[in-house]
Amino acid sequence: MSTYTQHHLPPISLPFSSSPSLPSHQQPTKPPIHSSSPKPISISHSQSSWIESLRSKSRSNLFHEAISTYIEMIGSGVSPDNFAFPAVLKAVAGTQELYLGKQIHAHVFKFGYGSFSSVTIDNTLVNMYGKCGDLGDVYKVFDRITERDQVSWNSIISALCRFEEWEVAIRAFRLMLMEGLEPSSFTLVSMALACSNLRKCDGLWLGKQIHGCCFRKGHWRTFSNNALMAMYAKLGRLDDAKSLLVLFEDRDLVTWNSMISSFSQNERFVEALMFLRLMVLEGVKPDGVTFASVLPACSHLELLRTGKEIHAHALRTDDLIENSFVGSALVDMYCNCGQVESGRLVFDGVLDRKIGLWNAMITGYAQSEQDEKALMLFIGMEAAAGLYPNATTMSSIVPAYVRCEGISRKEGIHGYVIKRGLETHRYVQNALIDMYSRMGDIKTSQRIFDSMEDRDIVSWNTIITSYVICGRSSDALLLLHEMQRIEENSTHDGDYNDEKQVPFKPNSITLMTVLPGCASLSALGKGKEIHAYAIRNFLASEVTVGSALVDMYAKCGCLNLARRVFDQMPIRNVITWNVIIMAYGMHGKGKESLELFEDMVAEGAKGGEVKPTEVTFIALFAACSHSGLVDEGLSLFHKMKNEHGIEPAPDHYACIVDLVGRAGKVEEAYRLVNTMPSGFDKVGAWSSLLGASRQGSLFCSICALKEISFTKMLLTAHIPVVEDELNKAKMDNLTRNIRANILVFGGGHSNLH
């Protein structure tokens, strides 16, 4: 806080320092105003017409025209009066021309209105200096007002809020009450803003008093209600904000936008979409702010169809072309729903590309692991648009950089981050933690986490994920406990002296991250605790958490609980269906897996957005293999391209070869391997054939051994199989050739004779 807030306040006047804060505009942008000697014209008529023209333009927010009129008026020899100065000062405040405002302030004194003769002029001076960024002159002018009225206090309180001097603004409000002045609706709006930026406990205590004051004084207007809603939402009382909207009938666009934005920011996405619908039904037309606020809900819930409807509405109202924020939200929505190319079409169609739009597209490419495109766009952002990367850009590009196989020294991006001066930004630190964990360097990840001055929930989620990635699930669960245990060490009033010690509640990402750790440890009890927490905190219905719970219960042996969670999920995506199909498959219930697949296809045929993917068929083939459903598996394999548009990949061939081979049809499996396209990697398929043919065809076994041994993919697990089969085959020449390849690719170990 600035030095002027550190003195004691006298009973009436505020201790305003003459030292201004950093002004937003220092350079003169208008020529100096010079007054000439009065000309012999009809002053009474000319003055009234000039001033009326000036006031009319100022009221119409034609600020530059109003300033030009004032300059022409002075040049014509017409003297401004106490009606002209408030009008021109309002125009200067609107354009934020500080140097010009100082010149007009000098005119106030020159023409005899500076000796405290007009409180209206003084009030507009306070407002002008506040909006032009000179808080020092705000204090000087306000201190010299002898007859302060309600507008005087409103102006100083508004200026203090603009400079984020929240506590001083509240003290000014108290002094206003001590002078016997009643607050207006504008005063209470500023106070609600100030309360929303205090500590939560203090903000709620004072904010409720402001709310009560609004109710007692009858200041129940739309803009005051909007300010109270924003205050409650920012202080974490979203349901109180919702109640205000429901109870207050005179709702406008700002009311709905505030509520929808608050829902999205607090991850209550379903309610955000519900209130958008209520808004439209009430006849309120959405604008760019509405679209930018509600599209993240479509993105997180993966509601592509709803997102497309909003996109169409935005196009009809021209908001997409004019608003880069809407464009950014659309790009994010399409990319998060797996439609990256559609996101790129939106990106290319936006005329005014701000850095947020570039960041959204780069993030979309990075999240879909189109890393080369992400890096090319990152390079083009500076080269083509002249924009420098910020913390958000770097947090998106770091994962893409790390995954690029052509880059040998991954740590180089860390050096670039330091060069740009972004190494202390929280978003970038989170990305670096993830980067080092994926490189297997969990110690460096932990070191960066420990050095963070300002951790957020993403920081905790990232370090927990890092331990899960590195196979240290027990440590991940300990970190989850530590993340919540910090709350027990806080002081009674919720004041945290160390920013690192701020407690965080696990969110949907936390649960999605830590549940696989429970599955790998078969920690069913801990998984149930997390499930209970998800239910209490309304997270269990989210598609990511629900999918992770289904997977956890299945891997812990509780298939019935996995199915119960699946059936209770209001929204399911393709991952959810793949997980439940895989769950039944691993439990040997292949027929149930096939029935679930049919349900999945039927849901998509009814207009749903869920369609089978490559992973879906891998899960189905594995389920058929474990249950011996050879004919069903082969039928799916032959229909996957024609009926579902999915080209069989090497992994699919490997699965189907395993399915057929396990059923004793080794020769058919061998023919399947030979039908694979020439460019495919056949090691997986040959390995599956090798595992199946050990119980049957020696010829197929030798063929599989030969193909595997002549690749660089000979695994340690293959070596004893190779040796056992070749020793039984007693084929000396072939044995020697394969043995040589084992020595080269198998680490130099062989027991062949």
Domain range list for the chain: 20-147, 572-637, 648-662+672-753
54, pLDDT greater than 70: yes
pLDDT of 410 above 70: yes
pLDDT of residue 696: 53
User: What pLDDT score does 20 carry?
Assistant: 41
Question: Poorest-confidence range of 47-56, 425-434, 654-663, 683-692?
Answer: 683-692
- For 277-305, the pLDDT digits (tens) are 999 999 998 888 899 999 999 999 889 99
Tokens standing for residue 429? 């630190």
Residue 364 in this model has a pLDDT that exceeds 90: yes
**DSSP 8-state code for residue 654:** H
pLDDT at 629 over 60: yes
The pLDDT, as a whole number, for residue 11 is 35
Distances (CA, A) of 223 to 127, 259, 278, 280: 20, 13, 20, 20
pLDDT at position 584? 94
pLDDT digits (tens, 9 = 90+) for 480-496: 888 887 544 444 344 44
Tokens at residue 41, please?
Answer: 């014209």
| Alpha helix segments (H runs only) across 317-440 | 319-322, 324-336, 340-349, 355-367, 371-385, 391-403, 412-419, 426-438
CA separation for the pair 172, 156 (Å, rounded): 8
Average pLDDT over residues 116-145: 86
CB neighbour class for 484 (10 Å; exposed up to 12, middle 13-18, buried from 19): middle
**Two tokens at 751?**
């027991």
pLDDT value at 733 more than 60: no
Q: pLDDT tens-digit profile of 435-465?
A: 999 888 899 999 999 998 888 888 999 999 9
8 A C-beta contact, residue 637 and residue 621: yes
- So what's the pLDDT on residue 216? 83
For residue 734, pLDDT over 60 is answered with no
Q: How confident is the model at residue 606 (pLDDT cuts 50, 70, 90)?
A: confident
Alpha carbons 121 and 461: distance in angstroms, whole number: 55
In this prediction, residue 439 carries a pLDDT of: 86
Query: Picking from 130-144, 674-688, 735-749, which range would have the lowest pLDDT averaged per residue?
Result: 735-749
Average pLDDT (101-110) is 88
State the pLDDT at residue 751: 41
pLDDT confidence band for 40 (50 / 70 / 90): very low
Residues of the chain with pLDDT > 90, as a percent, come to 32
Instruction: Quote the pLDDT of residue 674.
Output: 79
Residue 701 confidence class, pLDDT cut points 50, 70, 90: low
pLDDT (mean) for 703-709: 56
Crossing angle for the helix pair 473-485 and 508-521, to the nearest 10 degrees: 140
| Mean local confidence (pLDDT), 325-340 | 92
Mean pLDDT of 602-629: 88
**Percent of the chain beyond pLDDT 70?**
82
Which pTM does this prediction carry? 0.64
Average pLDDT, the chain: 81
For the segment(s) 20-147, the CATH number from 2.30.30, 3.40.50, 1.25.40, 1.10.3470 is 1.25.40
**In this model, does residue 90 exceed pLDDT 50?**
yes
Backbone torsions φ then ψ of 237, nearest 5 degrees: -105, 70
